[in-house]
């Protein structure tokens, strides 16, 4: 299957992941280990317009994020670690629907960890859909969440995705260094 080869290539090209996570869809029986690869092209100040501040799930095994985002997840997880027993899910099953999030007792805007849970929902779609995942979901993602049929995959990623924590010992040295420097700056 080409997605397996693509996963291998992404991992080789991206070097060691920023960290690894436990993730799955609600309907999936067992947890999967997913590489979270960080790239400066996905940072908020990136000059790549379509990549700026975005995450993308490439395959069932690889999620790409910016270093800013990876640091945000690490910071949240150091304060309140998720686990497979107590995973993070998207409040109200929607990242962008403030009313629905409030009804579910969530914050108005999603945390980094919730966005990662959404991406875990996409990894479940990738494992289910195989080779058609990227052409089909990659395209519909542009439509975001909403009530229309073409919002299906985004809605499903938000309602199904579970982030079961960072795999122990998997945080790369570079991210630990960045996180440490930032802590000193902010005192």
74-133 residues in contact with Zn ion (CB under 5 A) are none
116: three-class secondary structure by DSSP = helix
In the complex, least distance from residue 179 CB atom to Zn ion, rounded to whole angstroms = 25
Closer residue to Zn ion (CB): 91 or 172: 91
Look up residue 147 and give its two tokens: 């009530």
In the complex, least distance from residue 116 CB atom to Zn ion, rounded to whole angstroms = 11
Closer residue to Zn ion (CB): 41 or 170: 41
Choices 20-28, 80-88, 108-116, 136-144; region in contact with Zn ion by CB under 5 A? 136-144
Site string for Zn ion, 146-175 (x = CB under 5 A): --------x--x------------------
Enumerate the β-bridge partners of residue 56: 64
Q: How many residues bind Zn ion (CB under 5 A)?
A: 3
Cα–Cα distance measured from residue 117 to residue 156, given in angstroms and rounded to the nearest whole number: 11
In the complex, least distance from residue 152 CB atom to Zn ion, rounded to whole angstroms = 11
In the complex, least distance from residue 95 CB atom to Zn ion, rounded to whole angstroms = 8
In the complex, least distance from residue 93 CB atom to Zn ion, rounded to whole angstroms = 13
Instruction: Report the interface residues with Zn ion, using CB under 5 A.
Output: 141, 154, 157
């Amino acid at each position: 299957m080409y997605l397996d080869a693509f996963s291998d290539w992404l991992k080789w090209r991206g070097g060691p992941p920023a960290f690894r996570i436990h993730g799955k869809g609600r309907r999936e029986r067992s947890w999967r280990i997913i590489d979270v690869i960080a790239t400066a092209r996905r940072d908020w100040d990136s000059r790549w317009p379509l990549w700026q501040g975005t995450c993308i799930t490439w395959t069932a095994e690889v999620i790409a994020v910016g270093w800013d985002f990876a640091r945000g997840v690490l910071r949240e997880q150091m304060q309140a670690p998720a686990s497979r027993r107590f995973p993070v899910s998207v409040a109200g099953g929607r990242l962008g629907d403030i009313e629905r999030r409030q009804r579910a007792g969530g914050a108005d805007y999603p945390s980094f960890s919730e966005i990662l849970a959404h991406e875990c929902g996409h990894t479940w779609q990738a494992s289910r859909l195989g080779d058609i995942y990227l052409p089909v979901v990659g395209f519909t993602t542009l439509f975001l969440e909403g009530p229309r049929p073409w919002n299906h995959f985004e809605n499903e990623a938000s309602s199904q995705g579970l982030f079961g924590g960072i795999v122990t010992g998997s945080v790369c040295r570079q991210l630990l260094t960045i996180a440490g420097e930032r802590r000193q700056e902010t005192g």
